Amino acid sequence: MSTLPPCPKCNSEYTYEDGTQLVCPECAHEWSPGAAAEAGDSERVIKDSVGNVLQDGDSVSVIKDLKVKGSSLVVKVGTKVKNIRLCDGDHDIDCKIDGIGAMKLKSEFVRKV
């Protein structure tokens, strides 16, 4: 039985040590042993492109033209997005954009209004 903690990302029990890091073979997540305890104690803070902390229900403005994958649509600079929802993952903002519909955005491409 392994005494290593499970993966904090996918909860896999098959973690192993690689030097000073712990590694999950199922999702390829790497973390330091001390970071696992700290991550569970605090909430994830999501910031916009200039460092403002974002919360559910905020309004943001897009700072860069963003191509919508799988279509010819483009989200233009200055597009205002109201009532965002924060979620986990690479694209950490879930929202609805007029004329385009529901989509996910990265927080690095928006600014809080």
Write down the pLDDT at residue 41: 45
Residue predicted with more confidence, 38 or 7: 7
**CA nearest to 50, candidates 40, 58, 60:** 60
Write down the pLDDT at residue 6: 87
Residue predicted with more confidence, 98 or 43: 98
Q: Domains in the chain and their CATH numbers?
A: 1-38 (2.20.25.10), 57-110 (2.30.30.40)
Residue predicted with more confidence, 79 or 31: 79
| pLDDT tens sequence across 34-93 | 765 555 545 678 999 999 999 999 999 999 999 999 999 999 999 999 999 999 889 999
Burial class of 76 by CB neighbour count within 10 A (0 to 12, 13 to 18, 19+): exposed
